[in-house]
Amino acid sequence: MESTVKATGGGRVGWANATWPLATLKVDSRVLTLRVWPFGTYTFNRDEIISLENHGCFVSPGIKITHNVSEYPLNIIFWHFGNSEKLIQKILRTGFIPAADPSSMPKRSSAVKWEAVIGSIIIYGIMIVFDRETSARGAGIGPLSYIALLFMLFCSIFIRKSYALQKIFLKDGHKVEEISDYLNALAFFSATIMILGFFGVLK
């Protein structure tokens, strides 16, 4: 009987993918934990997992985690090198047996107010275009672009604590945890572009 199973690979949370070795899976008899950098950590007990299923093919094997946690993205997959069926059997031998009823899967609906998201994208695009039009170089990252990226970074970080920002971007009855993977990806993207621009990589 296995006591603990550990594996390194990649992961998909929602629409976002992280390649090997940015995801780690750890399972014991009580808890399954999937860490996917930079998107977050997803922890499940047996009553929160409906099934662990072989997903993909021999080129890109993976395990699909079907769960009932409404705060987590519906689509969660652990990619790895090797045989998925064998890895699932190793997980089951720890004593971690999925116990959630399939009917417990919550009904999904979009958590965000798309008019707020689209409006932010339009404003961001206008600032980028205007920045390039007024830049002497005609390319690169100018002050308006930095302001737009800072706005993205600010929102992706502080929406977790700001009730005002949540009212702007989230529909009533939804929690910010439902979009945590998108926020992590947005923060990572905006910070990376700012750093590359600062050191002159983007010209």
pTM greater than 0.85? no
Which of the 8 DSSP states describes residue 139? S
81, 84, 90, 95 alpha-carbon torsion, rounded to 10°: 130
Predicted local distance difference test score (pLDDT) of residue 203: 57
Predicted local distance difference test score (pLDDT) of residue 1: 64
Fold of 5-104: PH-domain like (2.30.29)
Predicted local distance difference test score (pLDDT) of residue 32: 98
Predicted local distance difference test score (pLDDT) of residue 134: 59
Predicted local distance difference test score (pLDDT) of residue 185: 80
Alpha-helical segments (H) within 9-113: 84-93
Predicted local distance difference test score (pLDDT) of residue 181: 73
Exposed/middle/buried for residue 79 (C-beta within 10 Å: 0-12, 13-18, 19+): buried
Residue 172 has φ and ψ, to the nearest 5°, of: -60, 140
Query: Cα 31 from chain centroid?
Result: 20
Predicted local distance difference test score (pLDDT) of residue 140: 57
* CA proximity to 38, closest of 78, 11, 65: 11
Structure token pair of residue 6: 């550990």
* CA proximity to 80, closest of 12, 4, 181: 12
Alpha-helical segments (H) within 4-113: 84-93
Delimit the domains of the chain by residue range: 5-104, 114-198
pLDDT in tens, the chain (203 residues): 668 999 999 999 887 888 999 999 999 999 999 999 888 899 999 999 999 999 876 667 899 999 999 888 888 999 998 899 999 999 999 999 999 999 988 777 678 888 888 888 888 888 877 776 655 554 557 788 888 888 889 988 899 889 999 999 988 878 887 787 778 888 888 888 888 877 766 65
Annotate 157-194 with b (16+ C-beta within 10 A) or e (fewer).
bebeeeeebeebbbeeebebebbbbbbbbbbbebbebb
